[in-house]
Structure 1
Amino acid sequence: MTAADADAYLARFRRVLEFIDAHLDGDLSVEGLSRVAAFSKFHFHRQFSSLFGMGVYEYVQLQRLKRASYQLAFREQRSIIDVALESGYEGPEAFARAFKKRVGQTPSEFRKQPRWEPWRATYQPLSELRNRHMKPTPQASQVRIIDFPETKVAALQHRGDPRRIGDSVRTFITWRKAHHLHPSRSATFNILYDNPEEVAPEDYRLDICAATDLEVKENPQGVVSKVIPGGRCAVLRHVGSDDTLAATVRYLYAEWLPQSGEELRDFPLVFQRVAFFPDVPEHEAVTDVFLPLK
């Protein structure tokens, strides 16, 4: 098999993974997915498990329950029964049994207070699979240099274990809703002070921000006013899961920057969250990565 043949073979399976992302509330039978890949239904399930290390049914269930967990944790307006039905279950009881078996909490317990450490352990195989088979391949032509405008933001300062960022996101959503700063009207940013791979978990720092000119008064959530300074930035759009976002960041630092002749400005990396999972399929989530330049 040539390299081109191998790439074409893997591309057919990437289409399947993207199709699953986009149709989590639809028919995801082995027969239907084999047609997406244009493989024989008699062999597809063995091809899938041999390549990805898990069966089709297990992968589909994990992806459905991952989306469900995001809806439970971050979209409180979605009822548990609606989440259950959209996840392919006939009712909340079957959904609760499957969810607890995978996550270790019932849907209502997870909605009230998620336990992120076991949740991450459950979904680590999915993260590894995406990093192996759905990693972005940025090109220098996709990097733009822009003048980023000075932007006032309301910021929640996450300090500590990056595995607990979900708790900070939930807190920030509560504040944001109370102040009517919906993401459709108020751009969402992250300011990344540290690389989680290079600092101790207790030292990790990240800000979760919403653009606003409103005065941020003292509040129980601990949200404060900050400013993202204006200036030149290289910007690269990442389309896909947060699981593969590190590869886009690594490209900017390791490949684009050394060849660009540019020098970095003394301000951290900034993300703008343009389209969010679970509101869009995971492979269609959009994050703009801003690298501050002199």
Structure 2
Amino acid sequence: MEEHKKRIIKAIRYIDHHLDADLSLENISEIAMYSPFHFHRIFKLITRETLQNYIIRKKIEKSAFYLAVKKEMEIKEIYLDLGFSNHSVFSKTFKKYYGMPPSAFRNSAPETFHRILQIDRKNGQTDTVFSQYICHVENLLNWTKMNLKIEVKELPEMNLAAVMSLGLAQVEPSYNLLIEWAEKKQLFPAQNVKMISVYHDSFKVTPPDKVRIHACMLLDEKLNGQNGLIFSETIDAGKFIAGRGEVTLQDFEQCWVSLFLWMNEHHYSMRKAFPFEIYHSNFKEHPEGKMIVDFCIPVH
């Protein structure tokens, strides 16, 4: 947990002190010693906003500080120092946050405005804003301990019948199609039948309505050929980090981020294979909408 604190503090400090530098996801994630994919999800969960939104907000807050207390600075000098390409872009972005253009803000800002923006410090200790983020990290890790049983284990090869879905909205219809096919084959309902979602795209680089998710059913034997929209898929045997928990659909993102944090903390790296979820119960049959799920990451 201490290692994650240090990484998050390091990343946020770097952003706040280098608002005029190259603050790309690749650069910031390298500073934090996470992969871009993992860092993006962790950062959003901890700060409650995307990396890009955080950077823009910090730039606008810094520009507001300069406008209020550094009257000698030209507006052009302020926005160029903070990496805005021109006055139009800066003015439009500033107005979105403060409801008025920069010039009007400068004319109306009180001399004491800087007191609002300053962060209290005590004996050089961590800024209170960092403490807030660290609290989020601790809460996440504590939530993980209470809600996920995580282990590293070898899983056997899994033969699946699959239906492809594009976007989250299509996952349930894909499962309905799969179940309809399985009922005709007398494979469903059956005792201990397992449904599995395999993620073939990352939400970081692919829009949510384009993410490819395969709705799958675990079979005893490999499916021969393709039957309409039903096709064969195989999860190869190997080592996996598996986190099991009884969670709601709203907890899924937190479960995945928790698992990635755990993976980094224990020095595992992800293999070039697809992560997946194994469902052991149906949330529609639980009074609180909970289901037992294994969240699985293929690792070296």
TM-score, scaled relative to structure 1: 0.49
Question: TM-score normalized by structure 2?
Answer: 0.48
> Rg larger in 1 or in 2?
2
